[in-house]
Amino acid sequence: MSTDIKFCGLTKAEDVQVAVELRASFVGAVFAGGPRAITAEQARSLFASVEGTRRVGVFGDQGRDEIARAAERAAVDVIQLHADPTPEMVSAIKRLSGLETWAAVRVANAPDDGMLDALISSADAIVYDTRAEGALGGTGRTFDWGVLANALDRERRVRARVVLAGGLTPALAPLAIDAL
């Protein structure tokens, strides 16, 4: 299993540069609202000099066409969907944009098996983040990785690209990786 790092919610060019220098695999910009939200044009400018690191656009409950247009304007490589995307939404965004598309699952307890399998079948990766009232993600809070490890049996681990979010620090990241 390989481990990639994504720095997300970036708003300053110097932070993007640090992420690239640290060899992050992904840098992300938030279009889903909140204190770190920026426009597609700002993201395009922010990521203009990025080479060798993939650019991720994080979206919330925007409409399909709006997401596809913003992703194109921002010149992102990956679309990350929050707001509990359905497998149909993921497939539609992939068709409209032609981009790799990740679906976020907000974890509070064991994910629903049927929905999890459908998302694994439609999305290029599943982002597991902490469910927090009033927030789509980006809260910096951890969740019980054991719940997720139990839900991701061997078959699902083989089929799904897993992305962890929520309260990961240099000290906690190895523990999260080991838990899965």
Burial of residue 16, with CB atoms counted within 10 A of its CB: 0-12 exposed, 13-18 middle, 19 or more buried:
buried
Min mean pLDDT across 10-19, 36-45, 126-135, 153-162 is at 153-162
Give residue 152's pLDDT band: very low, low, confident or very high (50, 70, 90): low
Give yes or no for residue 100 having a pLDDT over 90: yes
Task: Report how far residue 76's alpha carbon sits from residue 142's, in angstroms, rounded to the nearest whole number.
Answer: 27
165 to each of 51, 104, 154, how far by Cα in Å?
A: 24, 9, 21
pLDDT bracket for residue 141 (50, 70, 90): low
Taking residues 37-45, report their average pLDDT: 97
